[in-house]
């Protein structure tokens, strides 16, 4: 590799610190790192270049195109780009998920984390909502804070990652927003309940003020209980989250965007609860269908010992009376995903990322 000058060399040194396999010691190092070193800004182009150097032996990243959904809507401000992604916890990918067609070599954190960063840097979200984050303190917080994001993390109380030997701590939800575009007004970490019992699933909800328009909106990220047989449990968690969000948004007076891995197909009760909520929510990715009424055929596609699993589980919900969806990122085709499905050398997670551009409606009361 040729020399890239002092600034990039310093950047590569910072990136390399997060590549160590000694998770525990690096976690400590990160926590004890001086604030000035952690907050020294990074040029995203330099970080992208460094990621691509690490990934030079891997196939190129898949090409995905944005679909224009504006329908003649007029906006007087820059769109707000929101990215939703279950990135696959490293401990689970290597130790519990049993992706039988995915080589262990493809799951190496040293390279997989660069695939994740490359995707984030390629789409440049203003707001980033992640699930299954188990490398928050040693990777995502130190790097994304230096890219200008304000970062929040809420781990699961009893993360399954902790059952894996040499884990990197618990996984949880993480929320990042660009500080030069938004001001944080309020933040709530929510431990979801079901049947009046506290559960192992969490959410983060933050009220932000858009610097350009002065408008308030709420962004939330969550990850509901997984597995077949837990449908009623997910439904109860969804009801609890909706009630919390009704309180936070004053009954939808503040526009709302909810990102999450709901672990629920559109046929489940929790999906109907969100569709029929008094918050007047719509699912953004329905707008990619010809009639605007159908969810994508899949947002996750994997092969486990029990067989092939292709499901739609991930969603970006939004207040349709107050927000417009300008565009949405198209999903990978079956041909791009390939016969061995996800994750792979091409793609770092078993879930696809969802990305939407939103604008504020000029007449937010028209559908209330």
pLDDT digits (tens, 9 = 90+) for 328-368: 999 999 999 999 999 999 999 999 999 999 999 976 554 44
- Residue from 132, 182, 125, 180 nearest 153 by CA: 132
pLDDT at residue 5 in the model: 37
pLDDT at residue 95 in the model: 82
The full set of domain ranges for the chain reads: 78-362
User: Could you read off the pLDDT of 247-290 as tens digits, one per residue?
Assistant: 999 998 999 999 999 999 999 999 999 999 999 999 999 999 99
pLDDT at residue 234 in the model: 98
Cis upstream peptide for 343 (omega within 30°) = yes
Mean pLDDT, residues 9-24 taken together: 48
User: Could you read off the pLDDT of 186-215 as tens digits, one per residue?
Assistant: 999 999 999 899 999 999 999 999 999 999
Give the global pTM.
0.90
| Order of strands across the sheet that contains 216-223 | 182-194, 197-210, 216-223, 256-261, 314-319, 281-283
Secondary structure class of 123 (helix, strand, coil) = helix
Q: Is 29 a residue whose pLDDT tops 70? A: no
% helix, strand, coil for the chain, step of 5: 30, 30, 40
Q: Is 104 a residue whose pLDDT tops 60? A: yes
Cα separation of 310 and 302, whole Å?
A: 7
Cα separation of 245 and 279, whole Å?
A: 9
pLDDT at residue 249 in the model: 96
Identify the architecture of domain 78-362 in CATH: 4-Layer Sandwich (3.60)
Report the relative pairing of strands 281-283 and 314-319 from DSSP bridges: antiparallel
User: Could you read off the pLDDT of 144-156 as tens digits, one per residue?
Assistant: 999 999 999 999 9
User: Could you read off the pLDDT of 57-86 as tens digits, one per residue?
Assistant: 999 889 999 999 987 667 788 999 999 999
| Lowest pLDDT segment from 28-32, 130-134, 164-168, 255-259 | 28-32
Q: Is 7 a residue whose pLDDT tops 50? A: no
pLDDT at residue 91 in the model: 95
Q: How confident is the model at residue 173 (pLDDT cuts 50, 70, 90)?
A: very high
């Amino acid at each position: 590799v040729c020399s890239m000058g002092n600034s990039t060399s310093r950047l590569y040194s910072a990136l390399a610190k997060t590549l160590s396999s000694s998770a525990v010691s690096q976690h400590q190092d990160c926590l004890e790192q001086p604030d000035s070193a952690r907050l020294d800004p990074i040029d995203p182009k330099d970080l992208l270049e460094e990621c691509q150097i690490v990934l030079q032996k891997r196939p190129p990243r898949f090409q995905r195109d944005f679909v224009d959904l504006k329908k003649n809507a007029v906006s007087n401000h820059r769109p707000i780009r929101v990215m939703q992604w279950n990135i696959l916890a490293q401990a689970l990918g290597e130790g519990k998920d049993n992706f039988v067609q995915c080589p262990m070599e493809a799951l190496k954190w040293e390279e997989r984390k660069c695939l994740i960063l490359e995707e984030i840097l390629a789409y440049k979200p203003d707001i980033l909502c992640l699930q299954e984050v188990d490398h928050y303190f040693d990777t995502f917080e130190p790097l994304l804070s230096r890219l200008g994001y304000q970062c929040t993390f809420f781990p699961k109380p009893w993360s399954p990652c902790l059952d894996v030997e040499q884990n990197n701590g618990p996984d949880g939800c993480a929320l990042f927003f660009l500080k030069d575009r938004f001001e944080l007004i309020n933040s709530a970490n929510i431990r979801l309940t079901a049947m009046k019992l506290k559960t192992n699933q969490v959410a983060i909800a933050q009220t932000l003020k858009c610097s350009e328009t002065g408008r308030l909106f709420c962004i939330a990220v969550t990850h509901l209980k997984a597995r077949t047989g837990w449908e009623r449990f997910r439904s109860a968690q969804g009801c609890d989250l909706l009630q919390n969000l009704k309180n936070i948004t004053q009954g939808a007076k503040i526009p709302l965007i909810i990102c999450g891995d709901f672990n629920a197909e559109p046929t489940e009760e929790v999906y109907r609860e969100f569709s029929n909520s008094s918050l007047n929510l719509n699912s953004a990715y329905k707008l990619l269908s010809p009639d605007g009424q159908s969810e994508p055929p899949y947002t996750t596609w994997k092969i486990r010992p029990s067989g092939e699993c292709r499901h739609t589980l991930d969603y970006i919900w939004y207040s349709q009376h107050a927000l417009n969806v300008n565009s949405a990122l198209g999903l990978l085709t079956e041909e791009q995903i390939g016969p061995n499905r996800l994750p792979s050398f091409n793609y770092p997670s078993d879930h696809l990322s969802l990305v939407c551009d939103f604008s504020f409606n000029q007449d937010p009361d028209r559908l209330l």
